[in-house]
Structure 1
Amino acid sequence: MKDFFKKVSVLIMITLLMLTTYSMTNISVQAAETIEVEAESAIIVDAKTGKILYEKQSDLKLPPASMTKMMTEYLVLEAINEGQISWETTTQISDYAYWLSSNTSFSGIGLIQDKNYTVRQLYEGMAIISDNATTVALAELVVGSEGEFVKMMNEKAEEMGLQEYKFVNSTGLSNPDLGEYHPEGTEPNADNLLSARSAALLAYHLVQDYPEALDFSSTMRSELDNRELQNLNWMLPWEDNNFTQYYYEGIDGLKTGHTDAAGYCFTGTAQQGDRRLITVVMKADSEGSRFVQTQKLMEYGFTQFETTELFPAGYQLEEESILPVAKGKEKEVEIATAEPLETMIKSGEEEQYTINYQIDEDKLDEDGSLIAPIESGEKIGEAILQYSGDVDNGYVEGDGSEQRVDLVTTSAVEKSNWFMLSLGAIGDFFSSIFSTVVDFFKGLFA
C-alpha cells in the first residue's frame, strides 16, 4: 500500500510540474506576442522594405532634440558623396560655433578657434557625442550659414517624403536657447519638430543611402583635441557595469536626443543575420528608459516577425499569366515575376498575403494586346504585394510604397512579316464586310 501511495504521489508531482511548465511557456509566448511601450510615441520599421511592424502614436509631432542631427548627417554625407567636400576638407570654428562649444549647458566639448578641423573630426564629434558646435561648423561649411542649411534640411525632408516635420536649426536645440544666434529665416521662439514615423523614415534613408553612417554611430570612443568622445548610446557592447543591462545584440546606431521639451528620445537600429530593424522612442521618462523601451521594440520585432519569401521569382497568377499579342508570330505570351517577393511578416500570417498585377498601359494597344516584337524578360508591369490581415500599419514611406517586383515576359515574340500582316489585314477587311452584310439582312427580317 505504501508503494501505491508513493507512486501516486510521484505521478501527481510530475503532472503538476508539467502543468506548471506548460503554463509558464504559455505565459512567455503571450508576453512575447504583446508589447507595452512606456513612451509617448514609438515605431518599429523593417530597414529593408520600410514596412511598419508596430506603431504607437507614430504621427504625433514632438521636439526630436538631437535626433535632428540625423538630417545634418545625411546632408553632410550627401555633400561628400557629390564631391563638394571630402573627409579631409578643413574648416575653422566660427564665433557662433565657438559660443556653443564653450557653453557647458549645451554639453560643449570646447573647440579651439583659429585651428583647422577636418570634416571627419567634426563628424565624429556630431555623431558620437552629439556635439552641437561641430554640427554647426559642418552646416556652415556645406552651404555657408546655418540659415541656408536649414532650408536644405526642409527641402530634403520634403524630397524624402517626411510627413510630419519642421526644421529650424541643425542641432536640435530650441531656438530660444540659441538667442541671437538662431538661424536667419527662422522664428526666434521655434523648435524642431518630428514625428516618430518621420524620424524612422529619415533613419531609413540614412541607413539605405549612406550605410557608412553606422561606422560612426557604432564607434564607442574616439578623441578630439586630446579629449575623449564617448558614445551616448548605452545599448552598445560596453564593459561598464552601469550600461551592460541596456545592451542589445546587433545594435549599431543611431541617435539619442534629450531636451526638457522633448524628453528622452532614441532612434535605434540593429542587425541580426540578414534582418535590420529601425526603432524610434520619443518622450520616454528617463535616460535609461529610452533604451529599455528600445529593447522591447527590438525584441518584439525580431522574435515576432520573420523574413519570408512569399512568392518566388517566376511566380504566375492563375488565369492572369497570359497576355494577347498583336502583330506577332505568336498570338500570346506568358508573364511572370522577375524576382522573388519577400518581406517581414508576423509568424503564421503567410496566407494573408497575395499579389496583384499592374500592367503598364503604355505597353498595350487599344484592344489590350502587347505589340510585337517583344523581348524575353521585357518588363510589362509590376506585381504588387497585398495584405489582408487584421492590422496593417503600412509602410513608412506612405501610400503607394507597397512592395513591388517587375512583371516580365517569359519568352520573346517576333514581329510577323509584312506578307502575313497583309493577309491578316485583308482577312480583317472581308470579315468586317461580311459582318456588315449579315447585320443588314438581319435588319430586313427583324
Structure 2
Amino acid sequence: MLLKKIKKFLLGLVATATVSATLVGSIGAVNVHADTANAGDLQLDTKAAIAVDAKSGQIIYGKNENQALPIASMSKLISIYLVLQAIKQGKLSWDKKVPVDDTSYAVSQNTTLSNVPLKKENTYTVRQLYQASLIYSANGAVMTLANAVSGSQVAFVDKMRALLKSWGIKDAEIYTVSGLGNNEIGNGKYPNAPENAENKMSAKSMALVSQKLLADYPEILKTTSIARMKFNNGTSETEMENWNWMLKGLAKAYSDLPVDGLKTGTSDSAGADFTATVNKNGRRIITVVLGAPHNGDTDLSRFVQTQKLMSYVYNNFTYTTLKAHESFKNANQLPVYHGKKLKVKAVTKNATNVWLKKDLSTSNLKATLTGNKKLYKNGGIEAPLNKNKKIGTISLQTKQQPLTYLNGDTALKLTATNTKKIEKANIFVIMGRAVKEFFTDLF
C-alpha cells in the first residue's frame, strides 16, 4: 500500500494535481411539458395556439402546440422564405419577369379561392407576385413563383420539405406550395399522395418558421404590413386588401397592438388560422392560432383570439433583462487545472432577456453551471487561458414558470465566460500541491 502511495506521489510531481471536477449548481431541471405551460391561465377558442419571443424563441404560452393541424395558406410563409433565399443567392431578381404556366393560370382563375387573376399571355415581376402572395394570399401567384425558383410545383414542394427538415421540424406534412389541398391544384398535385392531402404542421413548428423568416429576412414586414395595394394586370387592376385584418386601418386593428404581419390561412378542415407578429415597446412576439371558428369571410374569430393572446402576454409577463457579466449564487465558479488559482469565476458573457410572470423576478431564477469540457483536463479548466472565453453554460430555471424554447431547450441557456485571464501556476506550486495531496492521501 505504501509503495502505491509513493508511486502516486512521484507521478503527481511529474504530471498532475487533481482538481475536483464537481460542478456547482443549485437545482435540477423543471420537468414541465411546453404544451401544458400556462394553458389554464387563458381560455382561447382555438384547437391550438402558441406565443413566443421573436428573437429568443422562448415559449411564453402554449396550448396543444405540438399537435399537427392543417395550416392552409400559412404555408405561403415557407414558400416565400425560399423565394427570398433565391433572391439573396442571385437566382432570382425582384424585376425578373416570370411567365405564367398552365397550372398556375388555371388556379388563378378560380374565383372561389383567394387570387389575383393572372393572364396567360402576360409576364409578371417577382416583386408583383411576391406582393400578391403575401398581401392577398394569391394562390396562382405563389405557384408561379415556385415554378420560377424550381421549375415545377413538385420540385418546389421537395425544397419546402428539405428546408423544414434542416430546421429540425419533424411534424410537417407538405404537399402544395400554396396551402391548397392536393386535389385543388390540377396538374400540380403531388404524386402518390392522397387526393385530399393537405399541408399540416404544429403551432410550435409554424412559430419556428416565422422566427426563421423574421430573423433571416426582416424586410418581409415591409410587405406584410401593407393594408391595401393594387395589382396591375396590364389592362386592369385588382384591389388587394390584406387578409390580416389586425393591420392599421383594417377591420380588427387594435391601437394597443401594432401588428405588422404575417399570414392568415383558411379552409374547411383548418378553420381559421393566423400567424401574427407584433412589436410593442420594442418587444416583438410571434403568435399562432390554429383552428379558430370560421363562419365565412367576415368572421373575426381568429383576430379576436390573437388579440386575447397578445394582450395576455403583454399584460401578464415582464420582459426582464439579465445583464452581461452577471453571476448566480451556487453556480459562479469552475475548477482550474494547474492554475495560479484553483477556481475561476464564471459570469454571463452577454446581456439577454426573458419573459417572466409578473409576480416573478430574476431572484426567482436558479442556476446550474456546466463546464466547457473542450477546455478541461483532469477535472478542471486547463491553465493558461485568455479572458472572455466560453468556459461553460449557465442554465436558468424557475419552479414557478417553465422556461422552454422553440429549439427544444428546457432552460434559459447562457454562455459563461471568464472576465480575467486564467494564469498557469509555476512548477514549484504544482509540485507543492502534488506533495500536499500525497501526504493528505497517505495519512
- Indicate the TM-score class for this superposition, using the shorter chain for normalisation: 0.7 to 0.9
Structure 1 partner of 2:324: 313
Shift of 1:327: 3.6
Indicate how the Cα distance of structure 1 residues 424 and 92 shifts in structure 2: closer, same or farther if over 3 A, else same.
same
Q: Distance in 2 between matches of 1:196 and 1:429?
A: 58
Q: What TM-score comes out, normalization by structure 2 length?
A: 0.82
Indicate how the Cα distance of structure 1 residues 41 and 235 shifts in structure 2: closer, same or farther if over 3 A, else same.
same
Q: Distance in 1 between matches of 2:333 and 2:172?
A: 46
Q: Distance in 2 between matches of 1:236 and 1:432?
A: 70
From 162, 181, 185, the equivalent of 1:178 is 185
* SS of match in other structure, 2:346: strand
Query: Contact 1:357/1:381 (CA < 8 Å) preserved in 2?
Result: yes
Q: What does the per-residue CA deviation read over 1:115-161, in whole Å, with 9 as the maximum and x for residues that have no partner?
A: 33221111001000000011111111111111111111111112223
Q: What does the per-residue CA deviation read over 1:392-443, in whole Å, with 9 as the maximum and x for residues that have no partner?
A: 3722332x36432211112113445xxx42x45665787788789x68xxxx
From 373, 394, 407, the equivalent of 1:383 is 394
Indicate how the Cα distance of structure 1 residues 313 and 79 shifts in structure 2: closer, same or farther if over 3 A, else same.
same
* SS of match in other structure, 2:81: helix
Structure 2 partner of 1:298: 310
Q: What does the per-residue CA deviation read over 1:158-178, in whole Å, with 9 as the maximum and x for residues that have no partner?
A: 222324211111101001222
Structure 2 partner of 1:129: 136
* SS of match in other structure, 1:104: coil
Q: Distance in 2 between matches of 1:388 and 1:430?
A: 45
Stretches of structure 1 that go unaligned for 5 or more consecutive residues are 1-32, 440-446
Stretches of structure 2 that go unaligned for 5 or more consecutive residues are 1-39
Structure 1 partner of 2:406: 396
Shift of 1:248: 5.5
Structure 2 partner of 1:265: 273
Indicate how the Cα distance of structure 1 residues 431 and 151 shifts in structure 2: closer, same or farther if over 3 A, else same.
same
Indicate how the Cα distance of structure 1 residues 87 and 55 shifts in structure 2: closer, same or farther if over 3 A, else same.
same
From 330, 343, 348, the equivalent of 2:359 is 348
Q: Distance in 1 between matches of 2:42 and 2:174?
A: 31
Query: Contact 2:244/2:261 (CA < 8 Å) preserved in 1?
Result: yes
Aligned-partner residue type, residue 419 of structure 2: T
* SS of match in other structure, 2:70: coil
Indicate how the Cα distance of structure 1 residues 285 and 246 shifts in structure 2: closer, same or farther if over 3 A, else same.
farther
Give the superposed CA RMSD: 2.5
Q: Which has the higher contact order (CA 8 A, sep 6+)?
A: 2
Q: Distance in 2 between matches of 1:435 and 1:294?
A: 66
Q: What TM-score comes out, normalization by structure 1 length?
A: 0.82
Indicate how the Cα distance of structure 1 residues 354 and 149 shifts in structure 2: closer, same or farther if over 3 A, else same.
same
Q: Distance in 2 between matches of 1:429 and 1:292?
A: 70
Q: Distance in 1 between matches of 2:109 and 2:50?
A: 36
Q: Which structure has more helix as a fraction of its residues? A: 1
Structure 2 partner of 1:409: 418
How many equivalent pairs are there?
Answer: 395
Indicate how the Cα distance of structure 1 residues 184 and 138 shifts in structure 2: closer, same or farther if over 3 A, else same.
farther
Structure 2 partner of 1:82: 89
Q: Distance in 2 between matches of 1:329 and 1:339?
A: 26
* SS of match in other structure, 2:128: helix
Q: Does the alignment pair 1:72 with 2:79?
A: yes
Q: What does the per-residue CA deviation read over 1:356-398, in whole Å, with 9 as the maximum and x for residues that have no partner?
A: 21111121112x2222221111211111221211x53722332
Aligned-partner residue type, residue 347 of structure 1: K
Aligned-residue identity in percent: 34
